[in-house]
């Protein structure tokens, strides 16, 4: 029997990335086709184009077994809420209260649907095929237009009252950094200090155009190290994955940027949490995503796969099991 | 059949609290006897006294079915580590590398044993019988000699590379607060700024002797609100429980202290995470422990109960199940 055909929608603030694929290969996600649509300011238009594309893929490849959606947010993830599957208080024009899951459910009736945040999607992809393979506790951070993070504790994606908004942590200000920050809610939270728009406001140029010797890199790396240090204190992750465009660090380059973040992180933790991963192992502890820019779409296939498994369990009349319980072998230290 | 007799040891830096009891009553923990021993600087002496007391309780009440230990730390919680059940890098004289679980296992052979941090113990107690009842995501904080926190994500106690050390988060400094902090590792982390010893160093007096109008209360409340705001951003807990002696706030009193923390927390989150619990519901969101000073011993009975269940599963030849998987009903919003 061929593996079930899965559909994935990774909804970002600029682009809606779509794919058809399978998740049965332990070595890598398999994509059969892909497409990209502008997010724009009309959810009806954009999601209509996505639905049309998925229907065209069904005509070409056969029936879609399940759909995963990993969306920019904030989103409503509460299965008991009438607003489940919607984007909530986004400042993005047109998208406030957009019913992303509802529109696609109506367009593709009868297909099980999984829905989560964009960062939890990428976290799932890295856990299945990337840098978090085999880990039940880890964090996936993205630094780009905004700063967000997802991840797992006890083998389950982080959810709660709503979902994590780690980019909005407050941090100590570095000596000499008087920048007010660009977060419209908090000013100088982590996102306000270190996101792409923060860099542009600080320097007058986009991050990817800044030379290696620009002083903003040290400031970004050291502030980010403080933030990651806090995540280590709160979550005790087994690995921290840092993705997003800012981590590529323009003229400085990813390797040099990571080296600085790691050195500052280690110095700031100051040996209090005594573990080799936070000392000589720091280079393996804080890493870029192995799947690169495919982490999100890959993880969204996994979201679809989990929705399919949950639907099959329900049909079989079995008690639903939490889909993300990790086997005990997931507790291995990297 | 009578409920299994459980033994609990809550190991603190000053006292070792012991109890015999049962955990079968959904309304409250039932303690049959209790004792307290000074922690002192000799683990052999102190744990010997604890073991003698447990044996005396067996003579009086019948065989102990399982033992729970919730200990000050840092501790080794890795089941695969040869150091499992030990205290690790504590500055407390005599207790570095103390084999707490090993000594008690030798003294009470054949009895299943559960081991976790003191704050995870208190978190378990509050989840079974207190302010976190029915919640799969919450944080339990204690502010006293140190600041520590435990809790759950996805219905499981927070563990990871080691265990959370939330008191060592770095925070922005409030305007006018030039205090260097007392943390011997980090100086002005949350614990360095707001623990009992920090208050004594700031004011020259212990917290419980400070009058209501002392300016340190506003500073402690506002700094603590920043820390809790970060926990909300990282973990998205459904409730935050603040225990420990500092929260009683001396001459100011617990109610006034909590009111200030809540107001600052709400102001600092600034509506970005749009949920009623963080707005008008804040008084129900950030609360003192319902079990008061019994939270730790109560939760340690639950640790014992879980160790017993795991041992029975192993004997029955079943695959071990993660003991803390929460049923889906635990996801209810408070």
Write out residues 117-136 of B within 8 Å (CB-CB) of A: none
Test mutation, B234, B277, B328, chain A, max A CBs within 10 A: B234
Fold (CATH) for B6-118+293-331: Nucleotidyltransferase; domain 5 (3.30.420)
pLDDT band at residue B271 using 50, 70 and 90 as cut-offs: confident
The encoded tokens of residue A304 equal 């679809």
Question: pLDDT tens digits for B82-112?
Answer: 999 999 878 788 999 999 999 999 999 999 9
Question: Is-same-fold flag (B6-118+293-331; B131-287)?
Answer: yes
pLDDT band at residue B316 using 50, 70 and 90 as cut-offs: confident
Examine the pLDDT at A326 and tell me if it is beyond 70.
no
Average pLDDT across chain B, whole number: 92
User: What is the CB neighbour count within 10 angstroms for residue A150?
Assistant: 28
Give CATH superfamily name and number for A131-287: ATPase, nucleotide binding domain (3.30.420.40)
Whether B90 has its CB under 8 Å from any CB of chain A: the answer is: no
Contacts 24+ apart (CB under 8 A), A34-37: A34/A297
Q: What is the pTM of this model?
A: 0.93
pLDDT band at residue A91 using 50, 70 and 90 as cut-offs: confident
Of the partner residues B156, B157, B169, the one whose CB lies closest to the CB of residue A234: B169
Set of chain A residues whose Cβ sits within 8 Å of the Cβ of B268: 170, 186
Task: Return the pLDDT at B327.
Answer: 32
Contacts 24+ apart (CB under 8 A), A184-188: A184/A91, A185/B270, A185/B271, A185/B272, A186/B268, A186/B270, A186/B272, A188/B172
Question: Could you give the CA distance from residue A238 to residue B52 in angstroms, rounded to a whole number?
Answer: 39
Question: pLDDT tens digits for A134-173?
Answer: 999 999 999 998 999 999 999 999 999 999 999 999 999 9
pLDDT band at residue B331 using 50, 70 and 90 as cut-offs: very low
In angstroms, what separates the C-alpha of A157 from chain B's closest C-alpha? 8
In angstroms, what separates the C-alpha of A268 from chain B's closest C-alpha? 7
The answer, yes or no, to whether ipTM is higher than 0.90 is yes
Question: pLDDT tens digits for B19-55?
Answer: 999 999 999 999 999 999 999 999 999 999 999 999 9
Locate the domains of chain B by residue range: 6-118+293-331, 131-287
Question: Could you give the CA distance from residue A141 to residue A162 in angstroms, rounded to a whole number?
Answer: 18
Question: Could you give the CA distance from residue A132 to residue A126 in angstroms, rounded to a whole number?
Answer: 5
Set of chain B residues whose Cβ sits within 8 Å of the Cβ of A328: 320, 322
Examine the pLDDT at A15 and tell me if it is beyond 50.
yes
Mean pLDDT of the B49-74 span: 96
Q: For B297-313, give one letter per residue: b (16+ CB within 10 A) or e.
A: bbbbbbbbbbbbbbbee
- Dmax of chain B from CA atoms? 63
pLDDT band at residue A35 using 50, 70 and 90 as cut-offs: very high
Set of chain B residues whose Cβ sits within 8 Å of the Cβ of A326: 322
Question: pLDDT tens digits for B138-147?
Answer: 999 999 989 9
Question: pLDDT tens digits for A210-253?
Answer: 999 999 999 999 999 999 999 999 999 999 999 999 999 999 99
Mean pLDDT of the A283-289 span: 97
In angstroms, what separates the C-alpha of A209 from chain B's closest C-alpha? 30
Interchain proximity B170–A229, CB inside 8 Å: yes
Write out residues 145-204 of A within 8 Å (CB-CB) of B: 153-173, 185-186, 188
pLDDT band at residue B318 using 50, 70 and 90 as cut-offs: low
Mean pLDDT of the A197-201 span: 97
In angstroms, what separates the C-alpha of A243 from chain B's closest C-alpha? 17
Task: Return the pLDDT at A318.
Answer: 64
Between B145 and B16, residue with greater pLDDT: B16
Task: Return the pLDDT at A92.
Answer: 84
Test mutation, B88, B154, B320, B325, chain A, max A CBs within 10 A: B154
Set of chain A residues whose Cβ sits within 8 Å of the Cβ of B156: 153-154, 156
In angstroms, what separates the C-alpha of B232 from chain A's closest C-alpha? 7
Could you give the percent of chain A with pLDDT greater than 70? 95
Task: Return the pLDDT at B319.
Answer: 57
Report in angstroms the alpha-carbon separations of A81 from A75, A108, A314, B233: 11, 21, 20, 21
Interchain proximity A235–B160, CB inside 8 Å: yes
Task: Return the pLDDT at A325.
Answer: 34
Task: Return the pLDDT at A314.
Answer: 81
Mean pLDDT of the A257-267 span: 97
Q: How far is Cα of residue B247 from the mean position of the Cα atoms in its chain? A: 14
Of the partner residues B166, B172, B328, the one whose CB lies closest to the CB of residue A233: B166
Interchain proximity B164–A229, CB inside 8 Å: no
Examine the pLDDT at B326 and tell me if it is beyond 90.
no
Question: pLDDT tens digits for B156-206?
Answer: 999 999 999 999 999 999 999 999 999 999 999 999 999 999 999 999 999
Write out residues 245-274 of B within 8 Å (CB-CB) of A: 268, 270-274
Whether B230 has its CB under 8 Å from any CB of chain A: the answer is: yes
Q: Which residue of A has its CA nearest to B74?
A: A273
In angstroms, what separates the C-alpha of B60 from chain A's closest C-alpha? 38
Task: Return the pLDDT at B141.
Answer: 98
Examine the pLDDT at A333 and tell me if it is beyond 70.
no
Whether A304 has its CB under 8 Å from any CB of chain B: the answer is: no
């Amino acid at each position: 029997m061929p593996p079930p055909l899965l559909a994935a929608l990774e909804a970002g603030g600029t682009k809606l990335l779509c794919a058809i694929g399978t998740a049965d290969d332990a070595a890598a996600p398999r994509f059969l086709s892909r497409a990209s649509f502008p997010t724009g300011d009309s959810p009806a238009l954009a999601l209509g184009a996505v639905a049309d594309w998925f229907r065209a893929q069904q005509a070409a490849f056969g029936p879609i077994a399940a759909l995963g959606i990993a969306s920019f947010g904030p989103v409503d993830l509460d299965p008991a809420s009438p607003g489940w599957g919607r984007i909530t208080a986004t400042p993005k024009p047109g998208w406030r209260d957009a019913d992303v899951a509802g529109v696609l459910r109506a367009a593709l009736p009868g297909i099980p649907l999984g829905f989560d945040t964009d960062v939890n999607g990428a976290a799932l992809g890295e856990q299945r095929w990337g840098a978090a393979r085999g880990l039940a506790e880890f964090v996936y951070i993205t630094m780009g237009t905004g700063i967000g993070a997802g991840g797992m504790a006890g083998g389950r994606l982080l959810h709660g009252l709503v979902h994590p908004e780690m980019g909005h942590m407050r941090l100590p200000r570095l000596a000499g950094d008087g920048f007010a920050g660009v977060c419209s809610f908090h000013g100088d939270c982590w996102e306000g200090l270190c996101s792409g728009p923060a860099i542009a406001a600080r320097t007058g140029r986009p991050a990817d155009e800044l030379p290696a010797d620009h002083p903003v890199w040290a400031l970004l790396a050291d502030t980010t190290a403080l933030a990651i240090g806090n995540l280590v204190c709160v979550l005790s992750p087994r690995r921290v994955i840092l993705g997003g465009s800012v981590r590529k660090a323009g003229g400085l380059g990813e390797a040099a940027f990571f080296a600085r973040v790691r050195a500052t992180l280690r110095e700031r933790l100051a040996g209090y949490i005594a573990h080799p991963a936070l000392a000589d192992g720091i280079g393996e502890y804080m890493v870029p995503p192995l799947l690169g820019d495919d982490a999100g779409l890959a993880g969204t296939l996994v979201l679809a796969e989990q929705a399919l498994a949950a639907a099959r369990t329900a049909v079989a009349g079995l008690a639903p099991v939490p889909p993300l319980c990790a086997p005990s072998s997931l507790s291995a230290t990297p």
